[in-house]
C-alpha cells in the first residue's frame, strides 16, 4: 500500500538508499545522469537505477550536445534539471498533468499509458518502477493487495467502470487503486470456499484469508492454488473461476474464491465474469427489487447456454428466478439454485433429425455433445 509512495525517501521497498549520494557519482562522473536525484525517492534499488541512467544517455545522444560533454551543462536539458531540483512535488504535478492527458487520450490502456508517458521522465523512474514491479520484490510491506491491483487490475475486465480520472490519479500517485471499488454501498466479501462462508469487510482481508486458510500458503499463493486444484474435491465448482484462474497464472487466484455481497448495483454491473454461476450474488437481488439490471440479466430467457460450448460464460444460473435461492452457504450453490439443469427442450435436435449415421450433418454443438445450436428450444 504505502510502498509505492514516491516521495518518501526510501519508499521503494523500505529499502533505504544507504549511499544514495555516494554510489553513482563515483562510477558515473556525468552529473547529468542525476542518479542521485532519482534515488532519494527511488529507494536504492540497484536494479532500478539502470533505468535513469540509460535514459539520460539516450537523451544525451539524441540531443547531441548533452551526451558529448558529460560535464555540468545539463542545464539546457529540460528533463534533467527538472528532476534535479524539485525532487518531489513540482515534478509530480507535471507528471500528473502529462499522465492525465495521456490517459485521457488513451484511456483503455490505463496502465500502459502512464507507464509510457513516464518513460521519458528520468526522474519519475524510481517510483514508476515500484509500481510496475511485481509483488515479489516488495511484497514485504504489502498486505493483500500488493502489485496485483495494477497488473491484474488492468488486465481484469471485471470492472466495467471506465478508467476514471480518479483512478488514474491513484495510479499516478502510486496508490494502488482501492480495488477499483468505490461503491457507495457497504461491501462485504464472502468466502466461497466449501463450508466456509466467512465474511470479511475487505477484499485484501478476504484474499489473505483464502490464501492462508484455503490455499494453504503464506506467500506462494500460486503454488497453493495449483496444489489445491489438484485435489479436485476442495474448491467449489465455478467454471469461470477455474478457467480464469488458470488463464491468469493463478495470480490473484483468491479472487475467484470469494464474492462480494454488497448487492449494490456495481456488483451486478461488475460483469458476468465475476458472476460466477455459483456465486450467491445471483440471489442477492431480491433485496433490491427496483434495481435496473443490466441487459443480459434483465432478459429472462435469452439463454447463453446456446453458446455454452463456445466458451461463453453461460451463466445458466441466471435463468431461475432470483428470489428463491438463498444465499446460504456458498459451498454448493449449484445445487441450491433451482434445477441445475434446464428442462430439456422439445425441439428435435440434430441427433434426432439427422440420425447417428449423418453425424456430419449435425451442428458442431451436437457433435460435441453440447447444447444443440441449430435447433434451439
Partner DNA sequence: GGTGCCGGGTA
Partner DNA sequence: TACCCGGCACC
- Which CB, 93 or 246, lies closer to DNA? 246
| Cβ contact 143:204 at 8 Å | yes
Residue 167, C-alpha cell as written in the block: 483512478
- Which CB, 15 or 304, lies closer to DNA? 304
Residue 355, C-alpha cell as written in the block: 440420425
- Which CB, 182 or 352, lies closer to DNA? 352
CB of 160 to DNA, least distance (A): 20
Rounded Cα gap, residues 326 and 286, in angstroms: 10
- Which CB, 120 or 364, lies closer to DNA? 364
Rounded Cα gap, residues 341 and 330, in angstroms: 18
Beta bridge partners of 259: 190
Rounded Cα gap, residues 234 and 194, in angstroms: 7
Rounded Cα gap, residues 335 and 344, in angstroms: 18
CA 107 centroid distance within chain: 16
CB of 357 to DNA, least distance (A): 11
- Which CB, 118 or 257, lies closer to DNA? 257
User: E strand or H helix at 278, and its extent?
Assistant: none
- Which CB, 170 or 349, lies closer to DNA? 349
- Which CB, 48 or 314, lies closer to DNA? 314
Residue 142, C-alpha cell as written in the block: 504489502
Rounded Cα gap, residues 101 and 114, in angstroms: 9
Longest dimension (CA), the chain: 86
CB of 350 to DNA, least distance (A): 7
Rounded Cα gap, residues 138 and 59, in angstroms: 30
Q: Nearest-CA neighbor of 129 among 141, 139, 119? A: 119
CB of 282 to DNA, least distance (A): 14
Binding site for DNA (CB under 7 A): 232, 237, 239, 242, 305, 308-311, 314, 316, 334, 339-345, 348-352, 356, 364, 366-372, 377
- Which CB, 122 or 366, lies closer to DNA? 366
| Cβ contact 268:285 at 8 Å | yes
User: E strand or H helix at 252, and its extent?
Assistant: none
CB of 314 to DNA, least distance (A): 7
CB of 244 to DNA, least distance (A): 11
CB of 227 to DNA, least distance (A): 15
Supply the DSSP string of 191-225, one letter for each residue: E-STTT--EES-HHHHHHHIIIIIS--SS-HHHHH
- Which CB, 205 or 322, lies closer to DNA? 322
Q: How far is CA 103 from CA 25, 111, 164, 205, in A?
A: 36, 9, 9, 30
| Cβ contact 342:377 at 8 Å | no
- Which CB, 268 or 316, lies closer to DNA? 316
Q: Measured between alpha carbons, how far apart are the two ends of the chain, in Å?
A: 52
Amino acid at each position: 500500500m504505502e510502498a509505492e509512495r514516491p516521495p518518501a525517501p526510501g519508499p521503494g521497498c523500505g529499502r533505504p538508499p544507504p549511499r544514495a549520494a555516494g554510489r553513482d557519482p563515483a562510477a558515473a562522473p556525468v552529473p547529468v545522469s542525476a542518479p542521485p536525484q532519482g534515488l532519494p525517492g527511488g529507494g536504492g534499488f540497484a536494479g532500478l537505477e539502470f533505468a535513469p541512467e540509460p535514459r539520460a544517455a539516450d537523451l544525451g545522444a539524441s540531443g547531441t550536445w548533452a551526451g558529448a560533454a558529460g560535464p555540468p551543462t545539463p542545464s539546457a536539458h529540460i528533463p534533467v534539471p527538472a528532476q534535479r531540483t524539485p525532487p518531489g512535488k513540482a515534478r509530480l504535478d507535471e507528471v500528473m498533468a502529462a499522465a492525465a492527458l495521456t490517459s485521457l487520450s488513451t484511456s483503455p490502456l490505463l496502465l500502459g499509458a502512464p507507464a509510457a508517458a513516464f518513460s521519458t521522465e528520468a526522474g519519475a523512474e524510481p517510483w514508476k518502477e515500484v509500481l510496475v514491479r511485481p509483488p515479489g520484490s516488495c511484497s514485504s510491506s504489502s498486505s493483500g493487495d500488493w502489485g496485483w491491483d495494477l497488473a491484474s487490475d488492468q488486465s481484469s475486465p471485471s470492472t466495467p467502470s471506465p478508467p476514471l480520472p480518479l483512478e488514474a490519479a491513484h495510479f499516478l500517485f502510486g496508490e494502488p487503486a482501492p480495488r477499483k471499488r468505490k461503491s457507495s454501498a457497504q461491501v462485504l466479501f464472502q468466502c466461497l470456499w466449501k463450508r466456509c462462508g466467512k465474511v470479511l469487510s475487505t477484499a485484501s482481508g478476504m484474499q489473505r484469508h483464502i490464501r492462508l486458510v484455503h490455499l494453504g500458503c503464506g506467500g506462494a499463493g500460486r503454488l497453493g492454488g495449483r496444489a489445491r486444484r489438484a485435489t479436485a474435491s476442495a474448491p467449489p465448482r465455478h467454471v469461470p473461476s477455474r478457467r480464469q484462474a488458470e488463464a491468469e497464472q493463478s495470480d490473484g487466484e483468491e479472487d475467484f474464491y470469494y464474492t462480494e455481497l454488497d448487492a449494490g448495483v456495481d456488483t451486478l454491473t461488475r460483469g458476468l465474469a465475476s458472476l460466477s454461476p455459483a456465486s450467491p450474488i445471483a440471489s442477492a437481488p431480491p433485496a433490491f427489487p427496483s434495481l435496473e439490471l443490466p441487459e443480459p440479466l434483465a432478459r429472462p430467457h435469452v439463454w447463453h447456454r446456446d453458446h455454452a460450448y463456445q466458451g461463453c460464460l453461460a451463466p445458466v444460473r441466471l435463468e431461475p428466478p432470483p428470489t428463491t435461492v438463498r444465499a446460504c452457504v456458498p459451498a454448493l450453490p449449484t445445487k441450491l439454485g433451482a434445477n441445475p439443469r434446464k428442462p430439456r427442450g422439445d425441439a428435435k435436435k440434430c441427433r434426432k433429425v439427422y440420425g447417428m449415421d449423418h453425424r456430419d450433418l449435425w451442428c458442431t454443438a451436437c457433435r460435441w455433445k453440447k447444447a444443440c445450436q441449430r435447433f434451439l428450444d
